[in-house]
Amino acid sequence: MTYRNLLVERADGLAVVTLNRPEKMNPLDGGMVRELREAAAALERDADTGVVIVTGAGRAFSAGGDLAGYLKLYRSPVEFRAFLQAFHDLLAALEASAKIYLAAVNGYCVAGGLELVLACDLVLAGEGAQIGDGHLNFGQLPGAGGSQRLPRAIGVLRAKRLMFSGELLPARECERIGLVGEVVPDAQLMARAREIAARLLAGSRTGLTGMKRLVNAGMEGSLAAGLALEMDYVHRYATTDPDATEGLLAFAAKRRPVYRKGGAG
């Protein structure tokens, strides 16, 4: 597919999705959200793709929404509701996906940009990245899940500090509080992202998908419900999925395992 706001590259099980409106710092407006949903749906149908890197062109991952465009949307409650629903649906699709989404955060990552990152499975940042909520700097509120996902990611008090202050934090501080998994020099960001993706792709796809589903589903309910889910899922995986047996056979034979490609987990 050809996109106006995105670049999408696919090769050897890896897809790289680049938000590509650098002159506007990659705003998550209606057009960008729509194309991200289309790209995510296309990648979900592609059995070869196992890992998706999301990054931004230019000086920003994404500086957030189109503030000027919101003035028009606010005057049309039906259109604004549709935009919010589309953004929610996009992020829910990333979380529910059988693929692993890795955010490679470059430059500014603010407001809607942060909300997109919070729906990804792994977060890597260049050391020059600046990350924060930023909504209240302009009298706005997060409308794509930020007020719910951020406290779950870094704790309520730290989340309130970021949301209330509108402050942008440097990448190293974001790593310290658990908002970013790893920080690397800016020039090495994409190389490191590809290195991580290659390692993931070398493993069991169904095992990786299963791990993602266990963690995400477990965070939605009580500990007891999560433990019950884990027992049922692991029992099914171990007794029915060839990758589980292959891993043990490879260990016993002192060889590298040969896992299936694709699979829904």
Question: What is the band of 68 on the pLDDT scale with cuts at 50, 70, 90?
Answer: confident
6-201 CATH choice from 3.40.50.11540, 3.10.20.30, 3.10.180.10, 3.90.226.10: 3.90.226.10
Average pLDDT over residues 151-171: 96
Q: Average pLDDT, whole number, for the chain?
A: 94
| Domain boundaries of the chain, sorted by first residue | 6-201, 205-253
On the question of pLDDT at 174 being above 90, the answer is: yes
pLDDT tens digits, one per residue of 196-230: 999 999 999 999 999 999 999 988 888 999 999 99
On the question of pLDDT at 193 being above 90, the answer is: yes
Distance CA 174, CA 117 (A): 12
The pTM for the full model equals 0.93
What are the beta bridge partners of residue 132? 110
pLDDT tens digits, one per residue of 20-67: 999 999 999 999 999 999 999 999 999 999 999 999 999 999 999 888
